[in-house]
Amino acid sequence: MENQKFTKMALLFLYFFYVIAISRGVVPNRIGINYGQLGDNLPSPARSIELLQNMNINRVKLYDADHEILNLLSGTDIDVAITVANDEISGIAMNQRLADQWVYEHILVHYPSTRIRFVLVGHEVFSSISTREDLQIARDLVPAIKRIKNTIKQRGIHNIKIGTPLAMDMMQTTFPPSNGSFKPEIRELMVPLLKYINGSKSFFFVDVYPYISWFDSQVRNQTAINLDFALLRSGNETYADPQSGLVYTNLLDQMLDSVLYAMSKLGYNDVMLAIAETGWPHNGELGANRENAAEYNNNLIRKMSSVPSVGTPARPGVVIPTFIFSLYDENQKYGPTTERHWGLLNPDGSLNYELNITSSV
């Protein structure tokens, strides 16, 4: 009888924390994929959704809110993140009717048969604020987020989180992690964003690329970052933060924790993190090859889909929703060769390298 009583209490205890997790908006630790379409040789949307299902992918992020793709995702068990374009932000911020129209056209006509779970307003909006137009878009970001959220809430929808993905160039310092801080010029923009995210129990989405930090350390004659450390190879190198005393075994954790410390310096200590983009290129510049890409992404999948969740040294055991960049190589992207070789799949749908993506199910 005592064992049965203990079992019931344990179940109630677990359920209690499950309810708390749901109320905070925590989502299962499944790996998602970014589905970009900047290529002239990519499979059709229908074939792409079929490939996602064949790979047992349960979460996908779109860089728009394409009606064809959202229709194809209807009836599947794939959670979807859709995106409001940067050039739509100011109009929505100034006009509730435009926000209502956007929500109707891109969410309500598809929801709930299409499992839209995230709306990302803009893409790396704080990365470029040098022109008057870009600065205005950055200032309009939070008002636009609020208008979209208000429309969704008025429709009785409570399982869609609103946020915006920001790049790591928002950071003034990232090392050591405890010294993490945002650039002074964006702090006045960051505070209202953090206030909204914290109040709505949404996620602070970051685009975080250990490859870029590792590459920069090699070519700029800085203190070179160890490749194993960047690839999440555990046990080969550790770093102890001299201020916090926390021990790091990989570069990704360092970068994520630097964001947590930057937020805490602005008075926000418990905002939840999500990774909107991360990955490793398989061709192009230094360090970009299939072996390294497979190593990083497989280690990432193992880490982020671990049960129980691993989290980071500054926030252990916490689920961090993660989207790998990207589904395909996109041959119409600008920049160095590396930019066109982040894909998990070739245009014919075959894997670029061995990937244990099913471990995230």
Q: How many residues does the chain have?
A: 361
Find, among 183, 324, 193, 300, the residue nearest to 250 by Cα.
300
- β-strand 311-312 against 272-278: which pairing, if any? unpaired
The answer to whether 352 touches 344, Cβ cutoff 8 Å, is: yes
Phi, psi (deg, nearest 5) at residue 28: -60, 155
| Residue 339 annotated to the active site | no
Angle between helices 96-103 and 132-154 (to 10 degrees): 60
Residue 67, classed as helix, strand or coil, is helix
Catalytic residue (choose from 2, 105, 185, 277): 277
State how beta strands 161-163 and 115-121 pair: parallel
Active-site residue (options: 2, 105, 124, 133)? 124
Q: How many Å apart are CA 163 and CA 83, to the nearest integer?
A: 10
- 185 belongs to the catalytic site: no
Backbone angles phi, psi at 354, to 5 degrees: -65, 130
User: Contact, 304 vs 231, CB < 8 A?
Assistant: no
Token duo for residue 322: 């993660």
Instruction: Please give the positions annotated as active site.
Output: 124, 277
